[in-house]
Structure 1
Amino acid sequence: MSTSGGSARQRPRGVVSGRYRLAVASRSLAAGIGGYGCAAAFAAALAVALPLARSEAVLWGTMLSFAVWSLAAIWAFAARSAGQAWLGILLPASVFGAVVLLAPGTT
């Protein structure tokens, strides 16, 4: 006899559904691959947007991109859903990519 008070069948403790595993895998890919893409686009955008010598702008962009990658990874697991995690990473990456493509002197 069950002492939980409900008639719904409960999953045994320690068993994780396939849907949950897929959501965690998607968030992990968003953090790793999506975060890398966002950080790379950020570094490139800073390299073309900062009013410094090209080598200095690339250096600053590269150094700050590690913070962007870390923030993207945090966001991937803080978002309410895996879809929202991807959207929150791909949207800024698209903006950074647009900055690179629209910058004068880059083709």
Structure 2
Amino acid sequence: MVSRIVAAIGGGYALGALASVAALALPASRPQAVIGGMLGSFAVYAAAVIWVFAARSATRAWAGLALAALPLLLACATVWGAGAAS
């Protein structure tokens, strides 16, 4: 149970933060992307918490969070790469 709680709090937060930064890769103006990312991060965090407690095991919960983080990490890498170039 402790592992699920840590996954829900820490993993959900990390997933929400990644979603917030990944929104900057969308074709929108920077202020719109920031606000959209902030709003979307709340939904991503809530979905991650629900997923963690709905999964059959804590291992599946962690694996699901990691699997969801991969595309977000790739999107964040494009944002961070573009930020370093400018």
Same fold (TM over 0.5): yes
Shift of 1:79: 0.4
> What are structure 2's unaligned runs of at least 5 residues?
none
8 Å CA contact retained: 1:100, 1:106? no
Distance 1:98 1:28 in 2: 26
Q: How does 1:28-39 map to 2 (within 5 A)?
A: 28-39=5-16
> % of aligned pairs identical?
41
Show the counterpart of 1:68. Answer: 44
Shift of 1:68: 0.4
**1:94, distance to aligned residue in structure 2 (A):** 2.5
Q: TM-score, normalised by structure 1?
A: 0.72
For residues 27-69 of structure 1, what are the alpha-carbon distances to aligned partners after superposition, in whole Å with 9 as ceiling and x for unaligned?
001110000000100110012x221111110110110110000
Correspondence for 1:7: none
Moved over 6 A (4+): none
Larger-Rg structure: 1
Taking only aligned residues, the RMSD between alpha carbons, in angstroms, comes to 1.3
Matched, 1:42 2:25: no
Q: Which amino acid aligns with 2:20?
A: A
TM-score (norm 2): 0.88
What amino acid maps onto 2:75 in structure 1? V
Greater percentage in helix: 2
Q: Between the two structures, name the one with larger relative contact order (CA 8 Å, sep ≥ 6).
A: 2
1:19 corresponds to which residue?
none
Q: Which consecutive unaligned segments of at least 5 residues does structure 1 have?
A: 1-23
